[in-house]
């Protein structure tokens, strides 16, 4: 998990602020996959909650429509793929 966090996730999160919209929406698509994968692991759920969800929430308000779409989809499909994460996301919203 640490290798994925340091070598994949951190650079990916940095790219969420890239000036090119196609980079940003591909980041959202990648975060969808990572969130769905990690949200089923006990220590992964914390990673998703603290690292991935905040970035996707910010990306939902992006100036580009495609970025907003893929960020919203990631929160619904990738992140919401786990019932556990659905409960967590509901908890964050309250």
Range of 83's domain?
A: 2-93
CB 17 within 8 A of CB 10: no
pLDDT tens across 32-87, in order?
Answer: 999 988 888 878 888 899 999 999 999 999 999 999 999 999 999 877 655 445 55
pTM score of the predicted model: 0.81
Which of 2, 73, 63 lies closest to 33 in space, CA to CA? 73
Nearest C-alpha neighbor of 78 from the set 32, 47, 29: 32
Q: Give me the CATH number covering residue 23.
A: 1.25.10.10
Q: Domain total for the chain?
A: 1
């Amino acid at each position: 998990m640490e290798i994925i966090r340091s070598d994949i996730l951190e650079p990916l999160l940095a790219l969420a602020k890239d000036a090119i919209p196609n980079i940003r929406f591909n980041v959202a698509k990648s975060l969808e996959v990572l969130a769905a994968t990690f949200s089923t692991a006990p220590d992964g759920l914390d990673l998703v909650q603290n690292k991935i969800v905040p970035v996707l929430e910010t990306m939902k308000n992006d100036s580009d429509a495609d970025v907003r779409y893929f960020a919203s989809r990631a929160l619904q499909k990738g992140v919401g793929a786990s019932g556990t994460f659905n409960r967590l996301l509901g908890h964050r919203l309250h």
